[in-house]
Structure 1
Amino acid sequence: MKISLLIALIFCSASFAYGKDNEDKFIFFLHNRFLEEHELDELHPEFGRSAFLEIINEFKKSGFNVISEKRNKNVNIRAYALRVKTQIDSLLNSGIEPRKITVVGTSKGGYIAQYVSTFVNNPKLNFVFIGSFRVSDMENLADINYCGNILNIYERTDSFGVSALERQKKSDCKIGHFKEIELNTGMGHGFLFKPLSAWLKPTIKWANGNYNL
């Protein structure tokens, strides 16, 4: 099954249809690396199928306008983040309030989201980073600078499952709200392949401006 979601079409309809007084909220969803290299119905040898469409549907059922696509193979993280920044800037210029925009990323998508936070540099935007931080990132990705309302979700049994508090402390942009949630599903990195309520519920609350998780 070859499915390609065209972000340009979704985005164009959103950017021209909404004005300053609307109550619509937007989620940019950035998926993991596995889906860059495989079709939507292909199985990861350890974690099974990545439930991309089901995850998007959960956000839609919660009332969000979802902007997403299945990325091409081996996209550059920084270049793709700049592309998302351009789309966010267009929404902001059309009158959408920054508090109504949330960028959610899992695994590699979480790293893209961190660079979006850095490049947009808007403390009123919301971000959810899922399974996308390791201690070595402080040295290897030293140019990331958190900005916005940041929720970091990680899994205890995942190699990417550590706190990003050190990054938060060293970021010099205003971070109005910062929260971390450690899960213990026993699923390793596979937890973010599935539409688990353990990470979807706090993500949706965060995107709705409920920062008291």
Structure 2
Amino acid sequence: MPPASQAIELNDRLPTIDASDIEPHFRAVAARAGERRGIRLERIYWEGLRRISTESGMTTADIVQRAATQVPESANLASLLRVISFKWALRRLTQLEEKTSLNNLNAIVQASPAPTIVMTRERKILLFNEPFLSMLRNRFSLGEVQQLARGLKFLIDTHVDEALDTFERNQGTIIKTSFTVSLNLQSMRGKINIAPAPSHEKSMLIGYVSGF
């Protein structure tokens, strides 16, 4: 049995379900040939079929008609439509997770010509690129990369949690702020543009240094 703290965290991640979500909704779907079928599905599966229709250019009736030709003897049409809807959602989820993996995020960081970092909610630098390292080397006479883990502090003037909350409320925005980086008794100030890092694994910030 998981600890209480883990159970609470899991409950926070589960979606809220109300009575309308689990109540099947009846719809009469007419095929191109005029054949009508009465289908009862929960609202979430109708939404899945709507999204499949938008992506594929097929109508919901077309999807139902094609599914009807694939129904095995041991199943029914409504069950098959639920499977189709859920498998489509899983496929989309897999595609999005692949695109927003840490490997792809690192590629975005390395491709940037500006000094670029990815910072976690705990204000730790998870990823950085060569221009960022060059900036530190020029300012602090930094030798080996290992020195980054010994005494280097990087702080932005905007609180990380507040920035993440802002991005969640206002999609497509950036925050222009300042940063301070220090190593031992040396420090420097600069300007940085931050945005939500495109990663599904955790909430993080990606920052592009605009001046120092």
How would you bin the TM-score normalised by the shorter chain? under 0.3
Higher relative contact order (CA 8 A, sep 6+): 1
Larger relative helix fraction: 2
Considering only CA atoms, is the larger Rg found in Structure 1 or Structure 2? 2
